[in-house]
């Protein structure tokens, strides 16, 4: 039965926070794309102003700019520079549109970036591959080509004339003439250029872009978590699958601990996001099979701080971000990064810690198989006795061990199926 969502089922989200949070994750995965996205978001928004577009369309341009090359993250290892922009550019644009299409809060942005490298060709570029190419795609294209010409080596205002000339040459060829006119007006505003290279463009955007809130349903929030999980999966399928396992166990533990439906949703989000900071850890440390050296361990431990950094702009998810960030804390004060003790660790954080340990012990890892029940129980018991994990929660795990393990396993298989399904869809789109 399709139940109608009630107000209590919805979370009020500031969309800017949501985009900023994804932007920070993208930056951690690939700083070049992260910085480029913010510049294009800003320039596209300003072009929208010059063209007197509605606030709604300007906001969409900001979002499209901030996410336009997201598909490049799926091009394993081929996105370190911005070469994907010129080398078969349809590939990353279509991949990006597919990624956003599957996340309801961003699905309207999908069609604004799908063809963001299609040249105007005196009007022929209004259509591509049998589809209509929207104005926004052409504006993103223009903003994108402006952004890639900006160099960090020379003072920005010395570069304006040259960028203006390069863009003008392509009027009618690559870009819509009306858009080039708008660009020329924009180019006269020195503050625009200074904003782009200010080094604090996220803050500038927050000040510039109009505030927009939206109520997101359970499904939409789940889509958002899955989007994050998918991005993490491009960097490491293992981390994405681990997080899905932790989420399933954490939801089960919170249900058995009496959490409300709303709290269970937040704990699920916290679990999906708890290890996202690992995308910043070099693969040789992340995937090392031997014991980590002290130096490597300290790098690995920084992942929690990165998780905190990504979630920090997200006001509505503050509590989920808080629980997620504390998953490595231990009740006896031996955890990290804050070394908190039982007095300061809420039940949500304790659940995250137990779900994380349980999943880590029982899941198959690239270099070892998951532990059998007796060994996993012994390891949990020893952490419980040492005062690291919550007694009450470990008891719940013991009482429901088989069910917990089955739930974890099913969620991780689903994560793997989801990954393959996405790759197949991508393949189908390219060959359409
Ligand atoms: Fe692109
Ligand atoms: Fe781009
Ligand atoms: Fe972790």
User: At 430, is the pLDDT very low, low, confident or very high (cuts 50, 70, 90)?
Assistant: confident
The domain ranges of the chain are: 13-214, 236-428
Q: Which residue has the higher pLDDT, 52 or 31?
A: 52
In angstroms, the Cα distances linking 345 to 206, 212, 267, 309 are 32, 33, 14, 20
From the CA of 337, the nearest ligand is 3
How are beta strands 213-216 and 127-128 bridged, if at all?
Answer: unpaired
CATH topology for the 13-214 domain: Hypothetical protein af1432 (1.10.3210)
Residue 7 has pLDDT above 70, yes or no: no
Element (H, E) at 258: none
Surrounding residues of ion ligand 2, Cβ less than 5 A: 69, 144
Element (H, E) at 127: strand 127-128
How are beta strands 131-132 and 213-216 bridged, if at all?
Answer: unpaired
The residue among 66, 27, 23 whose CA lies nearest residue 45 is: 66
Please give the mean pLDDT across all residues of the chain. Answer: 91
Residue 190 has pLDDT above 60, yes or no: yes
From the CA of 32, the nearest ligand is 2
Q: Which residue has the higher pLDDT, 233 or 54?
A: 54
Dist. CA 382–CA 149, nearest whole Å? 58
Residue 179 has pLDDT above 50, yes or no: yes
- Give CA torsion, residues 300, 304, 310, 315, to 10 deg: 180
Check residue 3 and give its pLDDT: 41
The residue among 50, 220, 73 whose CA lies nearest residue 142 is: 50
Q: What separation in Å is there between the alpha carbon of 9 and the centre of ligand 3?
A: 29
Topology match between the domains 13-214 and 236-428? yes
In angstroms, the Cα distances linking 329 to 240, 257, 261, 333, 336 are 21, 20, 25, 7, 5
Contacts of 8 by beta carbon, 8 Å cutoff, 6+ apart: 261, 262
Whole-prediction pTM = 0.88
From the CA of 306, the nearest ligand is 3
Dist. CA 279–CA 260, nearest whole Å? 31
Q: Count CB-CB contacts under 10 A for residue 24.
A: 20
Dist. CA 162–CA 411, nearest whole Å? 53
Residue 229 has pLDDT above 50, yes or no: yes
Check residue 378 and give its pLDDT: 98
pLDDT tens-digit series, residues 102-155: 899 999 999 999 999 999 999 999 999 999 999 999 999 999 999 999 998 999
Residue 199 has pLDDT above 60, yes or no: yes
Q: Are 246 and 270 in contact (CB under 8 A)?
A: no
Overall average pLDDT of the 21-43 stretch: 93
From the CA of 145, the nearest ligand is 2
Residue 12 has pLDDT above 90, yes or no: no
Check residue 4 and give its pLDDT: 45
Q: What separation in Å is there between the alpha carbon of 32 and the centre of ligand 2?
A: 10
Residue 1 has pLDDT above 80, yes or no: no
Q: What's the CATH number for 236-428?
A: 1.10.3210.10
Surrounding residues of ion ligand 3, Cβ less than 5 A: 275
Torsion sign across C-alpha atoms 17, 21, 24, 26 = negative
In angstroms, the Cα distances linking 343 to 2, 183, 350, 381 are 42, 57, 11, 21
From the CA of 325, the nearest ligand is 3
Overall average pLDDT of the 380-396 stretch: 97
Check residue 2 and give its pLDDT: 40
pLDDT tens-digit series, residues 302-352: 999 998 888 887 777 788 888 999 999 999 999 998 999 999 999 999 999
Q: What separation in Å is there between the alpha carbon of 37 and the centre of ligand 2?
A: 7
Dist. CA 284–CA 383, nearest whole Å? 28
For the chain, the C-alpha Rg in angstroms (whole number) is 23
């Amino acid at each position: 039965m399709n139940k109608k969502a009630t107000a209590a089922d919805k979370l009020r989200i500031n969309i800017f926070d949501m985009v900023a949070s994804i932007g920070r994750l993208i930056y951690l995965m690939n700083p070049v794309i992260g910085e480029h996205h913010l510049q294009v978001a800003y320039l596209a928004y300003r072009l929208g102003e010059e063209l007197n577009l509605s606030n709604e369309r300007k906001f969409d341009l900001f979002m499209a700019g901030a996410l336009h090359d997201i598909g490049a993250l799926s091009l394993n290892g081929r996105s370190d520079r911005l070469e994907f922009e010129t080398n078969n550019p349809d590939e990353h644009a279509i991949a990006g549109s597919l990624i956003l299409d599957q996340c309801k809060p961003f699905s309207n942005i999908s069609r604004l970036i799908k063809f963001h490298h299609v040249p105007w060709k005196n009007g022929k570029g209004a259509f591509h591959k049998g589809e209509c190419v929207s104005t926004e795609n052409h504006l993103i294209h223009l903003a994108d080509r402006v952004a890639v010409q900006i160099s960090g080596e020379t003072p920005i205002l010395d570069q304006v004339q040259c960028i203006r000339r390069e863009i003008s040459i392509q009027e009618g060829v690559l870009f819509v003439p009306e858009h080039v006119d708008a660009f020329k007006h924009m180019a006269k505003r020195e503050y625009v250029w200074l904003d782009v290279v200010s080094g604090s463009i996220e803050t500038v955007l927050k000040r510039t872009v109009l505030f927009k809130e939206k109520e997101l349903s359970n499904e939409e929030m789940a889509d958002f978590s899955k989007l994050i999980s998918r991005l993490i999966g491009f960097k490491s399928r293992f981390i994405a699958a681990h997080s899905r396992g932790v989420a399933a166990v954490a939801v089960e533990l919170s249900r058995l601990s009496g959490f409300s439906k709303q709290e269970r949703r937040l704990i699920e989000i916290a679990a999906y996001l708890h290890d996202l900071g690992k995308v910043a850890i070099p693969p040789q440390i992340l995937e090392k099979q031997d014991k980590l050296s002290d130096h490597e361990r300290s790098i690995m431990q920084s992942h929690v701080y990165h998780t905190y950094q990504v979630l920090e702009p997200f006001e509505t998810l503050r509590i989920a971000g808080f629980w997620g960030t504390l998953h490595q804390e231990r009740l006896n004060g031996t955890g990290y990064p804050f070394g908190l003790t039982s007095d300061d660790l809420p039940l949500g954080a304790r659940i995250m810690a137990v779900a994380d340990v349980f999943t880590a012990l029982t899941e198959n890892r690239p270099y070892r198989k998951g532990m059998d029940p007796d060994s996993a129980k012994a390891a949990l018991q020893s952490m419980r006795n040492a005062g690291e994990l919550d007694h009450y929660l470990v008891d719940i795990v013991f009482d429901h061990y088989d069910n917990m393990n089955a739930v974890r396993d099913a969620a991780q298989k689903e994560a793997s199926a989801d990954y393959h399904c996405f790759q197949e869809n991508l393949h189908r789109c390219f060959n359409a």
